[in-house]
Structure 1
Amino acid sequence: MTASRSSRRAFVLGSSMLAVLAGAGLASAGPLAASPPVQSPDKPLAGACSALVAQQTAAGSVNYPGSEVEPQIAADPTDPDHLVGSFQQDRWNDGGSNGLTNVVSHDGGATWSLAATQPAFSRCAGAAPGSPGYFMRSTDPWVSFSADGKVVYSIADSFDTGGPAFGGASSIMISRSLDGGTTWQQPVTARLDRSDTVLNDKESVTADPLKSASAYAVWDQLVSPQSHANPDAFLHSIAYRGPSYFSSTADQGATWSPGRIIYDPGQNDQTIGNQIVVPTTGPAKGVLIDGFNLITNKGGKCLYTHGGQHCAGNSTSTAALVRSTDGGTTWSDAIGIDVQQVAPVSIAGHPVRSSDDLPEFAANPVTGAIYAVWQDGRFANGTSKIAFAQSTDGGLTWSTTIRADQSPGSTPAFVPQIQVSADGTVGLTYYDLQNATAAQPGLADAYVVHCHATTTDCTNPASWTAGGQTRLSSTGSFDYTTAPDAGGYFLGDYTGLARRGTSFTPFYGMSQPIATAGRSDIFSNSVH
Structure 2
Amino acid sequence: MHPASSLSRAAVAIPAVAAVLLLTTAPAVANVALTPVSTDPYTDAQAQHQSEVEPDTYAFGNTIVSAFQVGRVSGGGSSNIGWARSGDRGATWTHGFLPGITTNGGGTFGQASDAAVAFDAKHNVWLISSLGISGSTVNVLTSRSTDGGLTWSNPVTTATGANDKNWIVCDNTSTSPFFGNCYTEYDITSAGDSIRMKTSTNGGASWGSALAPGGSHTGLGGQPVVLPNGHVLVPYLSLSDTIRSFRSTNGGASWNSTVLVSSISHHDANGGLREEALPSAEADAAGTVYVSWSDCRFRSGCPSNDVVLAKSTSETTWAAPTRVPIDATTSTVDHFTPGVGVDPATAGSSARIGLTYYYYPTASCTAATCVLDAGFISSTNGGSSWSGATMLAGPMNLSWIPNTSQGRMYGDYISTSVLSGGNAYPVLPVATAPTGSTLHLGMSVPTGGLAVTGGTNTAAVGAAAAAPAVRNGTVRTTAR
Coarse TM-score class (shorter-chain normalised): 0.7 to 0.9
Change (3 A) 1:332 1:212: closer
1:67 paired to 2:67: no
- The separation in 1 between residues aligned to 2:226 and 2:425, in whole angstroms, is 20
Where does residue 295 of structure 2 map in the other structure? Answer: 376
| Separation of aligned partners in 1, 2:254 and 2:337 | 32
1:504 — aligned with what?
A: 424
Question: 1:513: Cα distance to partner?
Answer: 3.6
**1:106-128 deviation per Cα after TM superposition (whole angstroms, max 9, x unaligned):** 2333332224x62422222221x
Q: Does 1:331 align with 2:255?
A: yes
Alpha-carbon contact 1:190-1:258 (below 8 Å) kept: no
Aligned equivalent of 1:278: 226
Contact 1:477-1:514 at 8 Å conserved across structures:
no
Residue of structure 2 equivalent to 1:137: 111
Q: Contact 1:121 / 1:156 at 8 angstroms: preserved in 2?
A: no
Give, as a single letter, the amino acid of the residue that structure 1 aligns with 2:106: G
Letter in 1 for 2:379: C
Equivalent residue, structure 1, for 2:17: none
How far residue 427 of structure 1 moved from its aligned partner, in angstroms, is 1.6
Query: What is the alpha-carbon distance in structure 1 between the residues aligned to residue 254 and residue 390 of structure 2?
Result: 42
Q: Deviations over 1:195-239 (max 9, x none)?
A: xxxx2000011011225532110111112xxxxxxxxxxxxxxxx
Matched, 1:287 2:238: no
Q: Which residue does 2:414 correspond to in 1?
A: 495
Percent identity (aligned): 25
Per the TM alignment, residue 441 of structure 1 is displaced from its structure 2 partner at its CA by: 2.8
Aligned length: 405
- CA distance in 2 between partners of 1:180 and 1:6 (Å): 32
Shift of 1:523: 1.2
Matches within 5 A, 1:240-389: 241-263=192-214, 265=216, 270-280=218-228, 285-296=229-240, 317-346=241-270, 350-354=271-275, 356-365=276-285, 367-380=286-299, 381-382=301-302, 383-389=304-310
Distance 1:398 1:436, change over 3 A: closer
Give 1:472 deviation, angstroms: 1.8
Mapping for residues 195-206 of structure 1, pairs under 5 Å: 199-206=162-169
Mapped to 2, the partners of 1:435 and 1:106 lie a distance apart of 39
Letter of the 1:158 counterpart: G
Please tell me whether residue 111 in structure 1 is matched to residue 122 in structure 2: no
Tell me, yes or no, if structure 1 residue 432 matches structure 2 residue 412: no
Structure 1 residues 343 and 140, CA, compared in 2 at 3 Å: closer, same or farther? same
Aligned position for 1:213: 180
Aligned 8 A contact 1:407 1:413 in 2: no
The CA deviation string for residues 374-408 of structure 1, in whole angstroms up to 9 with x for no partner, is 111212231122121111312x1111122115145
Cross-structure match for 2:66: 85
How far apart, in 1, do the equivalents of 2:325 and 2:183 lie?
30
Q: Among residues 18, 37, 41, which one is paired with 1:40 in the alignment?
A: 37
Aligned to 1:175: 143
Letter of the 2:192 counterpart: R
**SS in structure 1 at match of 2:160:** strand
Shift of 1:253: 1.8
Residues 106/6 of structure 1: CA separation in 2 closer, same or farther (3 Å cut): closer
Change beyond 3 A, Cα 1:263–1:273: farther
Q: Displacement, 1:442? A: 3.0
Structure-1 separation of matches of 2:233 and 2:435: 36
After superposition, the C-alpha distances for 1:443-502 in whole angstroms (9 at most, x for unaligned) are: 33211112213x6xx3x5xx13xx1112222xx533233111112221000112112122
Tell me the residue number matched to 2:311.
390
Distance (whole Å) between structure 1 residues aligned to residue 310 and residue 373 of structure 2 = 24
How far does residue 363 in structure 1 lie from its aligned partner after superposition? 0.5
CA RMSD of aligned residues (A): 2.5
For structure 2, list consecutive stretches of 5 or more residues without a partner in the other structure: 1-27, 452-480
| Residue pair 1:435, 1:444 contacting (<8 A) in 2 also | no
Question: Residue type matched to 2:222 in 1?
Answer: N
Unaligned runs of 5+ in 1: 8-34, 58-62, 128-133, 162-167, 194-198, 224-239, 297-316
State the structure with more CA Rg: 1
Match of 1:483 in 2: 401
Compute the displacement of 1:158 (Å): 1.3
How far did 1:241 drift? 1.9
Q: Which of 374, 379, 392 in structure 2 is aligned with 1:472?
A: 392
Give structure 1 regions of 4+ aligned residues with deviation exceeding 3 angstroms.
Answer: 4-7, 435-440, 513-519
Alignment match, 2:378: 450
Cα distance in 2, alignment partners of residues 405 and 379 from structure 1:
11
2:235–2:246: 8 Å Cα contact kept in structure 1?
Answer: yes
- Residues 119/84 of structure 1: CA separation in 2 closer, same or farther (3 Å cut): farther
